[in-house]
Amino acid sequence: MNECHIQAIRFIVPCRPLGYRVARNHAWNEVQKDYRAWRDRCCEAANLAGIQTPLFSSAKAPIDVSCIAYYDKGIHADPGNTHKGLIDALFRGALGGDKFVSGSFAAPRYDKEHPRLEVFLRGWPVLRYPELAMEITTCQGNITYTATKR
């Protein structure tokens, strides 16, 4: 696979942001199902933007993952837990490694019509399509891609 070192890429996960969740007992089954579906949506949005998941970080290739969560209402996950869930999604599985991941999250924002998670990745080396970096510029339904030569 070709490697392409870029400074930053932005993509949007076009759905209600959730927070990191771990199964504790059988009562959590529905909650876990929702969380897993959200985690999959995060990976799908990353893949559409040309990002190969799961990501892997190392001392020589650290990654900065920052996000801005736009919730649909005032009752929602803590933005720090949403950030943790995003990292869990992007670095999932035995191949993923998030030991050298840094990042930040913004204070919660609100958009009742278009809840979403804006994601900014900096410093990682592998794109599925190295000649292009794509940004999802709209959410909910009609998704528009803007291709930018890097």
Residue spans of the domains in the chain: they are 8-149
Contacts of 50 (CB under 8 A, 6+ apart): 9, 127, 128, 129, 132, 133, 134
Q: What is the pLDDT of residue 148?
A: 41
Is the separation of the CB atoms in 61 and 98 below 8 Å?
A: no
If DSSP codes are grouped into helix, strand and coil, which group holds residue 120? Answer: strand
Q: What is the pLDDT of residue 29?
A: 78
Q: Is domain 8-149 classified as CATH 3.30.1330.70?
A: yes
Total residue count of the chain as it appears in this document: 150
Q: What is the pLDDT of residue 112?
A: 96
What token pair was written down for 32?
């876990």
Using CB atoms within 10 Å of the CB of residue 123, give its burial: 0 to 12 exposed, 13 to 18 middle, 19+ buried. Answer: middle
Q: What is the pLDDT of residue 96?
A: 63
Rounded to two decimals, the pTM is 0.76
Q: What is the pLDDT of residue 109?
A: 97
Per-position pLDDT tens, the chain of length 150: 444 445 678 999 999 999 887 766 666 677 788 899 999 999 999 999 888 888 888 887 788 999 999 999 999 999 999 999 999 999 986 566 788 889 999 999 999 999 999 999 988 554 444 444 444 333 334 333 343 433
